[in-house]
Amino acid sequence: MADSKAQTPRDSGTFDKEKPLDFDAEKGQQSDLDGATILAPSERGVSAGSDGVTGDKEKAVAEETEQDPNIVDWDGPHDPENPMNWPEKKKWLNVAVLSILTIITPLGSSMFAPGIKEILVEFHETSSITATFLVSIYILGFAFGPLLVAPLSEMYGRAPLYNIGNILFTIFTVGTALSTNTGMLLAFRFLMGLAGSVPITIGSGSIADCMKMENRGKAMSAWALGPLLGPCIGPIAGGYLIKAAGWRWVFWLIVIIGGCLIPFAFFCLRETYAPVLLERKTARLRKETGNPNLRSKLASNKSAAETFKAAIYRPMKLLIFEPIITLMSLYVAITYGILYMLFTTFTFVYSGHYGFGVDTIGLAYLPTGIGMLIGVGVSGFLSDKIVKDRTAKGLVHRPEVRLLPYFTIPCGLLLCAGLFIYGWTVQEHVHWIVPMFGVLIFCAAIMGIMMSVQSYLLEAFLAHAASVTAALAVLRSLLGALLPLGALDLYESKLQFGWGNSLLGFIALLLVPIPFIFYVYGEKLRKKSRFNKAN
């Protein structure tokens, strides 16, 4: 039954403590004469010794599997049921479906932004905080959703959560479209964010489950286009739709699209999470053989309650006790918060300073989409290229190369430059194309940083991919939701747009060295990490 070594789970709280956290079985497996499977560090895609597990320990674990006939494992290194061995078309179909899902859910974050003034008038609201919170409360749902989604994905797999999330997202969007007051609108938008956080939380885990290391950068870029382009494309279409049919039709359109995606995702998405797939195989073999003692190689000795408890705490433990994740998350969170500060004020800036109408105001978001496309495309290309180049030279891959200091540092500086250009040209009433160019630079830079950071953290803590993504999402989304609340007050203060954006630029400037620090010292810190020694 167990004739080869199992693939270690990517982000599970159920893995054996003897298994390395940086395990990556995509390079193939090597068997000794007795049939026990041994993986060399170079085959795992990590440097020797970086996981604190010796070859003797690995061999002992493999021999234990070989000696126990009741342990169910993959049928050799080329088992077609192993997601790593799927045909490329099947892998990329999964990534394509995930990308579509992550375009739809972020549409809800800002597609109705051009209609904020209409909503305030209809519900008799005058508060500037309410105006910005109508947009940012959705992102608050993105902050809390991952704390529940990540552990559930480790217990029940990815696919069920995608399907349940799609259904709940559509239902909550109906409630938003039918809202009769500000409180009801805010409540349903928060629930939309909770349900919509599913593909954003576990999408990177699904990619890590099936994509080889040298293709992971491109796959991450394709998946990331959804949450990046959604908030940019949405307001463009939303502006014209709101003028023609009113703000409620923005949400009815999302309901229609979301409803169509429910059966599409159900039939096209495949489960990728190794522990769940092996558990299904075990259940099937128990039925076929009548042997109730069969158990999955990746099964946990913990109860479901213990597993859930460990998994639900892990994202916060990673965020608080892991310096790499803490500082990287802080960098991403601050820049993401600034991005949403710009998002929530575009309607007021371009209508007040440049006379854009309800229908054309959405065009102000176009530079953000173009900039994000550039940032994601360049980052994905360079990230995979450097991995392939190192492999061709026979160098052992280490996650830190994803940080690309010759790329992330210029991106950090360009991010600040974009803020300066945007702020001062708006304040001086320079032609609208110039501040839009500043926004394009800012968005290209922020995506270059975010993609590099997320790819690095995914590989540095590969065994906990979903939990790492959840930790990133919590801090990022909290600042994305809360920072915009003070945006209008900041710009209306003595600082105005020039010094207000300059202040944000100087804060971002202080964070520029962070990726370089971990490029140099990241490997040493990972060796000392408590998450390389325990759950």
Count of domains for the chain? 1
Tell me, yes or no, whether 39 lies in a domain: no
How many Å separate Cα 502 from the centre of its chain? Answer: 28
pLDDT value at position 532? 57
Give the whole-angstrom CA distance, residue 41 versus residue 396.
9
Tokens (6 digits) for 27: 């390079």
Q: What angle do CA 508, 373, 382 make, to 5 degrees?
A: 80
Tell me, yes or no, whether 264 lies in a domain: yes
Tell me, yes or no, whether 37 lies in a domain: no
Q: Give the residue numbers spanning the domain of 498.
A: 83-272+304-532
pLDDT value at position 17? 35
Give the whole-angstrom CA distance, residue 520 versus residue 524.
9
Across the 535 residues of the chain, what is the mean pLDDT of every consecutive 10-residue run? 39 35 36 30 33 40 60 86 90 88 80 83 84 83 85 87 95 94 93 91 85 79 71 77 88 92 91 90 89 83 76 83 90 88 80 80 82 85 82 82 86 93 91 92 91 84 76 83 78 83 91 91 82 50
Tell me, yes or no, whether 97 lies in a domain: yes
Distances (CA, A) of 321 to 313, 468, 499, 515, 528: 12, 12, 35, 18, 12
pLDDT value at position 7? 39
pLDDT value at position 43? 33
> Please, where are the H alpha helices in 246-352?
248-268, 274-289, 304-321, 323-352
Give the whole-angstrom CA distance, residue 266 versus residue 277.
17
Distances (CA, A) of 132 to 105, 360, 468, 474: 19, 20, 29, 20
Q: Which residues of 151-161 are buried (b: 16+ CB within 10 A; e: fewer)?
A: bbbbbebbbeb
Give the whole-angstrom CA distance, residue 24 versus residue 7.
8
Residue 327's CATH number = 1.20.1250.20
Distances (CA, A) of 48 to 158, 391, 445, 510: 31, 15, 33, 34
pLDDT value at position 67? 60
pLDDT value at position 401? 85
Tell me, yes or no, whether 43 lies in a domain: no
Reduced DSSP (H G I as helix, E B as strand, rest coil) percent helix, strand, coil of the chain, to 5:
75, 0, 25
pTM of the predicted structure, to 2 decimals: 0.71
Tell me, yes or no, whether 471 lies in a domain: yes
Tell me, yes or no, whether 41 lies in a domain: no
Tell me, yes or no, whether 35 lies in a domain: no
Q: Tell the residue number behind the tokens 């390079």, with chain if given.
A: 27
